[in-house]
Amino acid sequence: MESTTLITAAELSAALAGEHPPVLLDIRWQLGRWEPGTPAPGAADYAAGHIPGAHFIALDAELAAPPGPGGRHPLPDPEAFGAAMRAAGVSADREAVVYDAATSASAARAWWLLRWAGHSRVRVLDGGLAAWTAAGLPLQQDAPAAEQGDFIPAPGTLPTVDADAAAAVARTGLLLDARAGERYRGETEPIDPRAGHIPGAVSAPTTDNIQPDGRFRPAAELAERFAALGAKPGTEIAVYCGSGVTAAHELLALSLAGLDGALYPGSWSEWSSNPDRPAETSH
C-alpha cells in the first residue's frame, strides 16, 4: 500500500512523469551557525546536482525565524513561510515531496512545518537523494523555472509544547530527546550553552529510526522501538532535540509507528539558555 508519509525513489520518478506531478523541495542542510548574507548550507550541493524540477529551500532562512530567546531555529513567521513555499510552487491542492541527502533529518523539518501549517499532502523521499541516485535516476544542475503556488499557511494543525509543557510531559507522559546519546548524557555539547538534558526526558536518538542506507526502519520495528522507550496507548508524547529540526524526524518516525506527538520548537537551545531551568546529566 502506498505510504501517505514516505515515497520511494521509483514512486517519485513515476509521479514526476505523471499528469499531476508533485512540487519537489530540496532541503539539504548541515548543522552550524549560519549568518544572513552568506551562502545557505546545502546550496552548493543543490547546484552541483539535484532531482530534476526540485526547488532549493534554505532551512535556516526559510524554515525558521532568526535565532533568539526562542532558540536557534524558532518556528518561522507564517507569512514569510507561506511566501517561501508559494515561490517554490507549493499549492494547497498539489502534493509536495521533500528530500535531503539521505537520512531525512532536515527534510522532516519541511514535512512537519507544511503539515503544521495545514498542508494535507506532504511526503518525504525515503532515503533522500542517495536513494534516487542509487536507483540510477538522473540529476540536473539548473534550477527550475520560477513557479507561483497558492498555499496559505493555517498554523496549528500539528501540536507544539513550550518549555513548561515539555517539563510537564517529562513528569506525566513521555518526553523524547532526539539528539545523539552523548549530548543527552552531557558528555559533549558542541553548540548550545549548557550540556545535559531536560530532567525526566528519555534518550531516543534519531539515528535509531533509520537503516544504514538512510531509509526508515519498517513501521513494526519503529513501533517496537518506541514501545520499549515507554510509548503506550494513550501516552502523551512530546519531542525535542537541539533546536527543533531533528525532533521533526522523530515525530515522522512516531507517525510511521502509528503514534502522535508534539514538538517542543525551542528545544535544548532555548531550554539551556535559561540558567533557571535545570539540566540533568546521566551516563
Q: How far apart are CA 149 and CA 157, in angstroms?
A: 20
User: Bridge-partner residues for 98, per DSSP?
Assistant: 25, 124
Q: How far apart are CA 70 and CA 30, in angstroms?
A: 20
Concatenating the DSSP letter of every residue in 168-180 gives HHHHHSEEEE-S-
Query: Please, are residues 250 and 263 in contact by the beta-carbon 8 Å criterion?
Result: no
Task: List the grid coordinates of 84.
Answer: 517561501
51-87 burial, b if ≥16 CB within 10 A, otherwise e? bebbbbbbbbebbbbebeebbbbbbbebeebbebbbe
Catalytic residue selected from 108, 210, 241, 257 = 241
**For residue 33, how many C-alpha atoms fall within 13 Å in the half-sphere facing its CB?**
7
241 is catalytic: yes
**Cα dihedral value 182, 187, 193, 198, nearest 10:** 60
The catalytic site residues sit at 241
